[in-house]
């Protein structure tokens, strides 16, 4: 393994038990690439998609080169090898999220598809005219639009928990909506637009007391902190591989087995059946009932290796590392006049995502100036337009940290802001 966990250099030296972001950069080939301006790449856009460690890239190349055939069908050694690696990745994902069994892990294309699977399959079988379901104003569009479509189609009502001025879900509003008896609560673990870490344990407890199931959109939480569906007690959880150092094209739906057993298939075709006659078909067992067609074989194997990489670092250490960087960055940015920071002030409930607005400068201009400094950030509505509407802004600039970032990157962020302000003053 190439992961370096040497204490004594970079930010790691100041975090007990954690690793060095500076040292870890050598694991990621993208940091060998010169930027257009010749400056060092300061990658602060993990919330959109994360770079891949060499280990993951090599695993993907090796899987295509030496272990590739279709899975679950060949009666020959190569296909059995590919199937074993694909299923081992499913078991790795199951351990990573605390699932009771790999059978509770459904591979999808991304978090969006995993959420749509629940909306189409569970939603259309269980939600009726007059029913209610609940999501929140701080969700990514992936956790809003599928529910809007579902509710429109079946005649149900979709409610939204509102956001406080400092970017938290309003607990009183949550309780008030739960009193209306929603059948499902769909909520993000971490907001991609504000960085807020939602109190999932409390939300799940209250939702279950109110008789609702809970879907967690873990696209922004699973890559950055421990996930344990058993401890959390939620019912569905969705994540995306590409945000957690894995390949694009692979996502995961975890659901309690009895829910998966009872749900009708989302897509139909090959692999998801046991028997087909001209009169009809019998579904395969879970999770295969939900994996129609040839799956993303190598992508799943690559995701398994990305999880191995993260597990080697330790998810508690990943969270600690990002919390430290968040605290440094938040403190630095708060000192700069003309910077409006969004989201909670409390590092205990703020992930390594900082959304901000510079007075009088459009976020797209900010990101363009940043790019000339070698600093890659995201500018826009972050697929969370209701959040922008809540704060009456068109867009924000968003810096998001991951394992390979360090305090030099925090300084680069602060100095890019100053460069931008100087340019536009």
Q: How many CB atoms lie within 10 A of CB 198?
A: 22
Shortest gap between Cβ of 411 and ligand PMP (angstroms)? Answer: 26
Q: Is 387 in the site for ligand PMP (CB under 6 A)?
A: no
Contact mark string toward ligand PMP, 150..189, x via CB under 6 A:
--------------------------------------x-
Strand 213-217 versus strand 184-188 pairing type = parallel
Can you list the pairs that 315-320 forms with residues at least 24 positions away whose Cβ atoms lie under 8 Å?
315/225, 315/226, 315/227, 316/225, 316/226, 317/15, 317/17, 317/18, 317/19, 318/224, 318/225, 318/403, 319/224, 319/225, 319/226, 320/15, 320/17, 320/18
Q: What is the SS3 string spanning 72-137?
A: CCCCCHHHHHHHHHHHHHHHHHHHHHCCCCHHHEEEECCHHHHHHHHHHHHHHHHCCCCCEEEEEC
Q: Return the DSSP state at 393.
A: -
In this chain, which stretch among 33-41, 108-116, 194-202, 339-347 interacts with ligand PMP, using CB under 6 A?
A: 108-116
Shortest gap between Cβ of 328 and ligand PMP (angstroms)? Answer: 23
Contacts with ligand PMP by CB under 6 A: the residue count is 13
70: left (phi over 0), alpha (psi -120 to 50) or beta: beta
Within the chain, what is the greatest distance between any pair of CA atoms? 72
In this chain, which stretch among 38-46, 105-113, 289-297, 305-313 interacts with ligand PMP, using CB under 6 A?
A: 105-113
Question: How far is Cα 177 from Cα 188, in angstroms, rounded to an integer?
Answer: 17
Contact mark string toward ligand PMP, 219..258, x via CB under 6 A:
xx-------------------x------------------
Shortest gap between Cβ of 162 and ligand PMP (angstroms)? Answer: 18
Nearer to ligand PMP, 219 or 234 (CB): 219
End-to-end C-alpha distance for the chain, whole angstroms:
48
Catalytic residue, candidates 151, 234, 383, 420? 383
Q: Could you say which of 3, 22, 83, 192 contacts ligand PMP (CB under 6 A)? A: 192
In this chain, which stretch among 24-32, 106-114, 257-265, 339-347 interacts with ligand PMP, using CB under 6 A?
A: 106-114
Nearer to ligand PMP, 304 or 374 (CB): 304
Extract the tokens encoding 423.
Answer: 């340019």
Site for ligand PMP in 84-103 (CB under 6 A): none
Q: Could you say which of 116, 136, 143, 196 contacts ligand PMP (CB under 6 A)? A: 143
Shortest gap between Cβ of 315 and ligand PMP (angstroms)? Answer: 18
Nearer to ligand PMP, 229 or 361 (CB): 229
Extract the tokens encoding 271.
Answer: 């692999």
Nearer to ligand PMP, 18 or 89 (CB): 89
Strand 280-283 versus strand 273-277 pairing type = antiparallel
Q: Could you say which of 20, 110, 116, 284 contacts ligand PMP (CB under 6 A)? A: 110
Shortest gap between Cβ of 397 and ligand PMP (angstroms)? Answer: 16
In this chain, which stretch among 56-64, 162-170, 200-208, 213-221 interacts with ligand PMP, using CB under 6 A?
A: 213-221
Is 234 annotated in the active site? no
Residue 393 burial by CB count (10 A; 0-12/13-18/19+): exposed, middle or buried?
A: middle
Question: How far is Cα 398 from Cα 418, in angstroms, rounded to an integer?
Answer: 16
In this chain, which stretch among 15-23, 104-112, 148-156, 252-260 interacts with ligand PMP, using CB under 6 A?
A: 104-112
Shortest gap between Cβ of 122 and ligand PMP (angstroms)? Answer: 18
Q: Could you say which of 383, 393, 411, 419 contacts ligand PMP (CB under 6 A)? A: 383
Place of tokens 């992961």: 3
- C-alpha distances in Å from residue 327, one per residue of 39, 314, 346, 377: 25, 20, 9, 18
Catalytic residues: 383
Residues that bind ligand PMP (CB under 6 A): 110-112, 140, 142-143, 188, 192, 217, 219-220, 240, 383
């Amino acid at each position: 393994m190439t992961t370096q966990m040497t204490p004594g250099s970079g930010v790691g030296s100041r975090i007990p038990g954690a690793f060095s972001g500076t040292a870890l950069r050598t694991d990621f080939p993208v940091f060998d690439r010169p930027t257009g301006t010749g400056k060092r790449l300061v990658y602060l856009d993990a919330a959109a998609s994360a770079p891949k460690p060499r280990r993951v890239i090599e695993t993907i190349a090796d899987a295509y080169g030496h272990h590739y055939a279709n899975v679950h069908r060949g009666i020959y050694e190569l296909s059995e090898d590919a199937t074993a690696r694909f299923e081992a990745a499913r078991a790795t994902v199951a351990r990573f999220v605390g699932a009771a069994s790999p059978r509770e892990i459904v591979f999808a294309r991304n978090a969006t598809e995993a959420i749509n699977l629940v909306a189409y399959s569970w939603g259309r079988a269980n939600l009726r005219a007059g029913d209610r379901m609940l999501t929140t104003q701080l969700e990514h569009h992936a956790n809003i639009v599928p529910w809007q479509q579902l509710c429109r189609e079946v005649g149900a009502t979709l409610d939204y928990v509102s956001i406080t001025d400092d970017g938290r879900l309003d607990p009183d509003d949550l309780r008030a909506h739960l009193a209306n008896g929603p059948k499902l609560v769909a909520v993000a673990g971490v907001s991609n637009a504000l960085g807020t870490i939602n109190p999932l344990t409390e939300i799940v407890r209250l939702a279950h007391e109110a008789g609702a199931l809970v879907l967690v959109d873990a696209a922004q939480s699973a890559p950055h902190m421990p996930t344990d569906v058993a401890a959390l007690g939620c019912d569905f959880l969705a994540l995306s591989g590409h945000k957690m150092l894995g390949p694009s094209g692979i996502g995961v739906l975890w659901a309690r087995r009895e829910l998966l057993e009872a749900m009708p298939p989302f897509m139909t075709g090959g692999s998801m059946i046991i028997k087909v006659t001209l009169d009809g078909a019998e579904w395969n067992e879970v999770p295969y009932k939900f994996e129609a067609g040839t799956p993303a074989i190598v992508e799943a194997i690559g995701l398994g290796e990305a999880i191995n990489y993260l597990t080697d670092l330790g998810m508690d250490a990943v969270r600690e590392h990002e919390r430290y960087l968040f605290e440094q960055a938040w403190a630095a940015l708060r000192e700069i006049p003309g910077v409006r920071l969004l989201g909670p002030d409390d590092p205990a409930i703020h992930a390594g995502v900082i959304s901000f607005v510079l007075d009088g400068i459009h976020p797209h201009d900010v990101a363009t100036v940043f790019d000339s400094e070698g600093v890659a950030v995201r500018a826009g509505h972050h697929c969370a337009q209701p959040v922008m509407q809540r704060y009456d802004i068109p867009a924000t600039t968003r810096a998001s940290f991951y394992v390979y970032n360090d305090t030099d990157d925090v300084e680069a962020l602060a100095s890019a802001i100053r460069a931008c302000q100087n340019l536009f003053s």
